[in-house]
Amino acid sequence: MGDMGDALAHTRSSAFAHPRKNVSMLGIVSGMRVADFGSGSGAYALSIAEEMNDSGRVYAIDIQKDLLRRLANESARLGRTNLDVIWADLEVPRASKLAEHSIDVVLMSNMLFQVHDKKRVIREALRVVKTNGRIAVIDWTDSFGGMGPTKDDILSRDAALALLQEEGAALVQEFSAGAHHYGLIFMPEQHTV
């Protein structure tokens, strides 16, 4: 796609999903440890790092090394000291390199529709999230004029809900994540009320 295409795609995606507004829905506070699975160009990771006032840690995890390099450069340019980039194929067990039950919030934004083995990614999120932590899923509701996934690749809200529930997560909150996105927040089942 090239730099200009990536920038344009990021701008379009951000305009539809409202990263800053959505981060406010995640209950992020200073000192947390947050993993951004499929961080891409880093709009969410950077917003989370800023929200935490450079305390805690944000782990931006993606399979695209060029995007991680750009994110690391942007983070340094902005003076963010609490953001780490991790290259990983999250469909491989334990690939995130994060310790078990060490993360307060795992965010998966515009990611699940792209991976083949969605259950493995969800299992990795459940492995690393604290027993009282949260997993947030933000994804496309439709294919909007060729922006976002194709109609066949859309992971509907109901399909995402079913997948996470099958793997042992319980829905605790739902929120409007933008004009063409849904937002779901889960906790590991044993810690829901």
Query: Which residue type does 183 have?
Result: G
Specify the pLDDT at position 64.
95
Specify the pLDDT at position 147.
67
* DSSP tag of 132: E
Q: Is 61 helix (H, G, I), strand (E, B) or coil?
A: strand
Query: Residue 13 and residue 16: Cα distance in Å, rounded?
Result: 5
Q: Which of 86, 74, 17 is nearest to 50 (CA)?
A: 74
Quick: pLDDT tens for 102-114: 999 999 998 888 8
Task: Kindly list the distances between the CA atom of residue 117 and the CA atoms of 60, 79, 85, 143, 168, in Å, as whole numbers in the listed order.
Answer: 20, 36, 22, 21, 16
Specify the pLDDT at position 133.
97
- At 20, the pLDDT band (50, 70, 90 cuts) reads confident
Could you give the maximum distance between any two Cα atoms of the chain, in Å? 47
Query: Residue 167 and residue 170: Cα distance in Å, rounded?
Result: 9
- At 135, the pLDDT band (50, 70, 90 cuts) reads very high
Q: Taking residues 166-193, report their average pLDDT.
A: 87
Query: Residue 29 and residue 52: Cα distance in Å, rounded?
Result: 6
- pTM, entire model: 0.86
Q: Which of 22, 19, 71, 62 is nearest to 42 (CA)?
A: 71
- At 21, the pLDDT band (50, 70, 90 cuts) reads confident
Task: Kindly list the distances between the CA atom of residue 46 and the CA atoms of 58, 77, 175, in Å, as whole numbers in the listed order.
Answer: 8, 11, 21
Full set of structural domains in the chain with CATH = 2-191 (3.40.50.150)
Q: Taking residues 117-140, report their average pLDDT.
A: 95
* Alpha-carbon 74 to chain mean position: 18
Strand order in the sheet with 57-62: 83-87, 57-62, 33-37, 103-109, 129-140, 181-188, 169-176
Average pLDDT value for the chain: 86
Spell out where 88-127 has E strands. 103-109
Q: Taking residues 47-63, report their average pLDDT.
A: 93
| Token reading at 107 | 């965010």
